[in-house]
Structure 1
Amino acid sequence: MGILTVDMTSKIHGISTVKAAFTTPTGPGVRHKGLRAELLEKCLIKTISEQIQAELNSELTAQELCSVTRADYTAEGFKSVRSAPSTNCDYKTDQAITFWRENYQKVQGVTGVGSPDGPFKKNTTFSTPISERLGNPMDFTHEN
């Protein structure tokens, strides 16, 4: 009130300028489907919805509530016993057994391995000068 008119007693109409300028599009007024196809579609929707409602409202039997594990894999008299570990392993400190750890000697392009128990640990062979390497069997000093 008061924005478009100065008259404060005027009633607000249920139409805006957008609604007044644009109308909703109307269809062509011609059928897109034939009467038979429309009736067939309605019949199929009705029968399928009835089937779904019947499945949802049916009572579950005791056999349907049994899990697959209980029905198929549980044998009478079976007792689960854990076997003793074959080796003493500590998952926090031991190296993981992987393909690369087992086959690092066969892979081309792998740098020198410092210790066989950790082949992929930090290796300072490239940054250590030859004269400072420990346990190097070769003597790299040249005498003329």
Structure 2
Amino acid sequence: MTSQTASAEKRVGKCLLDNWVEERAAAVLDTDGSRVQIQKHGHRGILTVDLASKIEGVSTERASYIPPRGPGVRERGIRGELLEKHITQKISEKVHAEFSPAPPKTDFRSTTQKDFIVEGFVPLDPEPTNVYDYKTDQAVTFWSENHQRVQGVSAVRTSDTPFKKTSMFSTPVTEQLDQLVLPPEN
């Protein structure tokens, strides 16, 4: 029975083709725990025998690294640096103004204020050229101006009232008194 469990544990963690050297080196340490637990948590005691020791935060590379130092003497003059900063600031302001212009000032006036109330405008009523009576005169409209071109309109007797009621449709031709000449009979 123990040979079956050992072979089953062997099959659980098959090593890679070129990893057999590491597997043989760690075989001595595989005595405690099952194969699955070792693969999950790793081998204890490979790096150090003292299991209570902690890993240091400093590596050999960090301990030996020295950051580079400058020459310790000023390489450029103060005036040159200030001139470069000034030119850089002017160029950056110009580019910023070019790519993000200020929004246009909003006009909060209404249409009436904008279009009809203008400073210096004095309204003048024009002097009438003819005497008109709005109560009795016929209104001038597009249809009253173009009544000759409108289809389906009866004969117009006077030009100032083209759309008044007419009884010519219902009055027999023989009784029409306005007509001086009777239409020819066929």
Give the shorter-chain TM-score range.
0.3 to 0.5
Greater Rg, structure 1 or structure 2?
2
| TM-score for the superposition, normalised by structure 2 | 0.34
